[in-house]
Structure formats: C-alpha cells, structure tokens
Amino acid sequence: MSRQSDPLTLEVVDLMAKLVSLFHKEYEEAAAARSLTGAQAKVLALLRRGPMPMRHIAQTLSCEPSNITGIVDRLEARGFVTREADPQDRRVKLVAVTDSGRSASEELRESLNFAREPLAALSGDERTVLRDLLRRMLDGAGS
C-alpha cells in the first residue's frame, strides 16, 4: 500500500488541513481587528527574529518582492517598521520592527485562542510529544 493511499496518513493530512484552515481564519480576524492585513501581521511576526532584507522576507513568505515593498511601506507609515542600511552592504536595506510594531505583533499573538483550547486538552507531556513530532516533520520537509 503506498503512502498516499494509507488511510491513517490521509486522515492525518485532512486533520492538519482543518487545523491550518482554522488557524488562518483566526489569524486573519485577529490581524483585521488591529487594522492589519494577514500579510502585514506575518511580516511583523517574522521580524521579531531580527532585521532582514526584503528579499529574505519575500522568500520566507513565498511572495513577490514587490508585494513586500508595499507591505513594508504601509507598516513603515504606521511606525511599525523602519528601513536601515545593512552594515555589511550599504546597498541593501534591512527592515526592522520598532517597539510599536513588536507590541502590535505580540498583542496579536497573545489574542490567538486557536491553539490554546485544543492544546489545553493535552497534558504537558502530550504537548511536548506533539511539539517534537511537528519539529521532526518540519525538519524532514527541509524547513
């Protein structure tokens, strides 16, 4: 029996798809409640890791660099990000989250109830196992 026709694998894929759909719906609603688009919220969340070039943001979010330029322009107009020259290559502009942008991103993240209730049904040990399994899956996918 191939992996694609394995009923357990198919059920797991369907369940993951439902979880992803629920997460995206709540994420978009939480972003909209803060007058952000989902893409703007994702950029702010990504920038919590540190400043990065717009091309890296585009690659990470799998979108066109021109889209990121517009998103960053709107975030910059709201005071959520700044553009800085890269100290390694002054031709490259790094996008950095401001304190205001970090606060907005953290507030949005804290408002997400999507995972809290379902995860509350799991013990601490079960959440640890789930985390470790998800990490293994992502490592196997090359993320």
Position 138 confidence tier, pLDDT thresholds 50, 70, 90: confident
Residue 6, C-beta contacts closer than 8 angstroms, at least 6 positions apart: none
Position 1 confidence tier, pLDDT thresholds 50, 70, 90: very low
d(CA 90, CA 111): 38
pLDDT tens by residue, 99-137: 999 999 999 998 887 767 778 888 999 999 999 998 998
pLDDT tens by residue, 46-84: 999 999 999 999 999 999 989 999 999 999 999 999 999
Residue keyed to tokens 């990000």: 81
Tell whether the model's pLDDT for residue 6 goes beyond 60.
yes
Position 4 confidence tier, pLDDT thresholds 50, 70, 90: low
Domain ranges of the chain: 7-110, 113-143
Question: Residue 50: left if φ>0, alpha if ψ -120 to 50, beta else—which one?
Answer: left
CATH number for 7-110: choose from 3.40.50.1820, 1.10.10.10, 1.10.760.10, 3.40.50.300.
1.10.10.10
pLDDT tens by residue, 10-54: 998 899 899 888 888 889 999 999 999 999 999 999 999 999 999
Tell whether the model's pLDDT for residue 143 goes beyond 70.
no
Task: Read off the pTM.
Answer: 0.77
pLDDT reported for residue 46: 96
d(CA 57, CA 39): 11
Mean pLDDT of all residues belonging to the chain: 90
